[in-house]
Amino acid sequence: MSASKTRLYHRLQLAAHRVQKSADRAVLRAAKITTAQAAVLSVVVAADQPVTQRVVADQLGLNESAVTAMTNRLLRMNLLERERDDADARAWRLRLSEQGHAALTRIEKPFRRVNQRLESVLEPDEIARLADYLGRIGAAFDEV
C-alpha cells in the first residue's frame, strides 16, 4: 500500500496537530507558556551555559526570526535573561531565569501525562518502532 493511498501525510499531520493542541493546553494551564516556548527553554537549559539564538534555532530546526520572536516574548515574561556575547557584539547569549527554571518544573507533569497517553494506545515494541519510523521520516526531510 502506498503512502498516498493511505493519506499518510494527512494522518501524520492530523495526529501531530491533535497531540500538540492537547500538550499546548496542558502546558498553558501549568505554566502559561506554549510547547514551542517550552522547547526554547529546554534547549537553553540543556546547554548548561548561555547560548545564542542561532544555537537555539539550529537545535529546534527553526529560522532565527521565529526564535527571535519567541525569545522576546520569553524575555518579557522574565523566563529568559540575556547578555551580550563576548565574541560577537551583535549576538546575545541566553540563559534561564529563576522563573524559567520554575516554569520547566511546572510542565514536567503535563508532558509526562501526554507521554502516558501515547503509551496507553501503543505497546512497548510499537513505541520503539514508531520512534524509529519518526526519526527516519524526519531525517528523510532534513534540509541540506
- Give the pLDDT confidence of 22-62 residue by residue, as tens digits: 999 999 999 999 999 999 999 999 998 999 999 999 999 89
- The larger pLDDT score, comparing residue 46 to residue 5, is at 46
For domain 12-140, the question of CATH label 1.10.10.10 is answered with yes
Going by C-alpha positions, the residue among 63, 58, 50, 43 that lies closest to residue 91 is 50
Confidence (pLDDT) at 144: 52
Geometric angle at alpha carbon 39, from 33 and 45, rounded to 5°: 105
- Give the pLDDT confidence of 85-111 residue by residue, as tens digits: 888 888 889 999 999 999 999 999 999
Confidence (pLDDT) at 87: 84
Confidence (pLDDT) at 21: 96
Residue with the three cell numbers 494522518: 11
Query: What's the whole-number mean pLDDT along residues 137-142?
Result: 90
* Predicted confidence (pLDDT) at residue 4 exceeds the cutoff of 90: no
* Predicted confidence (pLDDT) at residue 126 exceeds the cutoff of 60: yes
